Structure 1
């Protein structure tokens, strides 16, 4: 009950302090408001930017390794012609890994060609992307179906002329119609639509979108396009377990099997690359960590000024209420009661400033953005309130301590 009464009385005193000298209080809290706004706004923008970039890269999958000719990052001392002369991933490589890998949960081989023209009667679309996949592709990359179904093993093995299309493809070629069961023409070949993927929309980086994708069995794809060194280069995707250690074991296992398959001697370099999306994610996280740190430092100076403002208010408040403190003590109020009273008031004032800063950040998130979605997370709200509370404690502890040590007789005599 005592704690509740302390909090209530401190809140009442804080409100009275705000009302008694509104301009002084607002100017003093402005530093905390600006500081919290600066820190939380930067963190919110950085978090939103990172989330949008990661969402744009979701087509790479999670916990997936990619075995292919080219690495995603080049070593400084590695001659480019060694990469150029590497063999591309082959069907035999895929079958060998599929048969011998122990740590994988899914494995697939795929190849793609962009900017293809596809037709349905008089309707056509010229910027579609065709992708040939083996059966396990939906295990390494999400294929969210709105209508229809995924390929059967028999359709993949027999290289059937069946196709799963994206939302935009379906909308352009089959307006106001259900595409499932209808025909699409690609380079003179007729494909039957068996599924339509959900609408994905444009992403932040302009990365490949399912909306423009047309997925067919890998064998059917090889009948349409040249696949290999002088055509579409296949990629082998291997899905690992959620645990990072398991993924590292999978990477080592895949690397060892590929070296054995290609007959590489111990002293020879790999003539293939095992790429991980985490390499890109790690680079992104390090960049955003620097941005967050820079924003926090800038906001920290504003909060420091705000802390001095809160401390100034509390010193003035102690001076103005010295007589009241004396009366409270003469009626039996303990030192800790006076200390907590002023300390809670300082925290209250600081939190008010923090809430004002958070509210401004929230208003910014309501501004429509075409480029990316900006949202204020619960974690950042808690962080902002926590920082405000800490600033209130630091700024109010000295004035509160001085108030608690006042002699009641001298305090009552003061004017």
Structure 2
């Protein structure tokens, strides 16, 4: 109990010392404030970017492999001109994979058509058209806000039905419930059976903004836009227990080679693409940003730490006489130590809190589609770094004060 009382008294002395030199206190914490702001701001922006990209990837599916002609990024085992000679995946190849895949929870086919005008009387909007098979909702995140998803009869029989994005619904049917209503697509009437939940813009939109995509059955899409060729992207979702999707990838490779009659000595003439490859490509950028934040912040914190240490040495010098009096009245060494250590830590923590508060204000600055969120983890990081800097900056001055001879200290002027 006595130790606790002495610690509280040391804390009170430290607080009083900071209040008595408010100008010096403010100047001392500026370096720490800038450093903590730089570190926490970079971590917050990187976390926000990762969340934004992961949300974008959820639209195109998790644990999926896309069978396509073109690889996502060149530099593979072939020269870039080799890919021009490869055939596009076909609907027949999709059916072959659909009927024979064992290491897959779902196999679907899809394709996109560029900017197309959708009309409802005098209202119109330019949207992306996506044709999908029935199983596509098992692969991608199609969040239906109103209405429903397709039924097998609609996708198998090429019915003119559609699931539209939120922006399409607002543009074609302002102030109305779009479900059950008709619009025109390439001169054909389509009935809205579902409206997706509004997702908003994101930094990375694979296949366009989900709020401006009109999804129709693949058979209907093929009749309108493919002129009988029926080329498409095949999408395979691996089983939950297939780590790294190695089993699914191996089976797709074997089946596609069999279907295309590729000889054992010949290489593949198709690409297996993974959505997470795009996210991994950005991990290097995130690592550089994080390192930059640490470097910039470390220099600022280093300057701030030296500033705090300098102020603490000055504070010890100014209060040498008072230290002697306290020790002559029975103050223990640890009490004097904690008195100055608390002062250094409090000074650093105040700077850290101000830096974190500035990052919090940064979250209110409009950043387009990027939503900046200050997470509890980054707050704890900022406060932790501030505390460590306070301890490191104040430990030597505090030790000098604690080890003073009371007789010599009292005589100091």
With the length of structure 1 as denominator, give the TM-score of the two structures.
0.91
Residues 14, 340 of structure 2: 8 Å contact kept: no
Residues 18, 343 of structure 2: 8 Å contact kept: no
| Alignment match, 1:372 | 370
Residues 11, 348 of structure 1: 8 Å contact kept: no
| Alignment match, 1:190 | 189
**Structure 1 segment 30-69 matched on structure 2, within 5 A:** 30-69=30-69
Q: Which consecutive residues of structure 2, in runs of 5 or more, have no partner in the other structure?
A: none
Residues 168, 199 of structure 1: 8 Å contact kept: yes
| Alignment match, 2:213 | 213
CA distance in 2, matches of 1:271, 1:9: 77
Q: Which consecutive residues of structure 1, in runs of 5 or more, have no partner in the other structure?
A: none
| Alignment match, 1:254 | 252
When residues 126 and 25 of structure 1 are mapped into structure 2, their CA distance, relative to the original with a 3 A threshold, is closer
CA distance in 2, matches of 1:136, 1:125: 30
- Offset of 1:147 from its aligned partner? 0.9
**276, 279, 283: which one aligns with 1:278:** 276
CA distance in 2, matches of 1:407, 1:14: 21
CA distance in 1, matches of 2:20, 2:399: 23
Deviates more, 1:272-281 or 1:41-50: 41-50
Deviates more, 1:1-10 or 1:40-49: 1-10
Once the two structures are superposed, residues 304-347 of structure 1 have per-residue CA deviations (whole angstroms, 9 ceiling, x without a partner) of 01001111121122222223333333344332333233222211
- Offset of 1:270 from its aligned partner? 1.0
CA distance in 1, matches of 2:91, 2:231: 11
| Alignment match, 2:180 | 181
Once the two structures are superposed, residues 365-386 of structure 1 have per-residue CA deviations (whole angstroms, 9 ceiling, x without a partner) of 2223335222222222111111
- Offset of 1:126 from its aligned partner? 4.8
- Tell me the secondary structure at the aligned position of residue 266 of structure 2: coil
| Alignment match, 1:388 | 386
When residues 327 and 369 of structure 1 are mapped into structure 2, their CA distance, relative to the original with a 3 A threshold, is same
CA distance in 2, matches of 1:291, 1:385: 21
CA distance in 2, matches of 1:412, 1:100: 92
In the alignment, is residue 87 of structure 1 matched against residue 87 of structure 2? yes
Aligned residues: 412
| Alignment match, 2:354 | 356
In the alignment, is residue 150 of structure 1 matched against residue 138 of structure 2? no
CA distance in 1, matches of 2:171, 2:369: 24
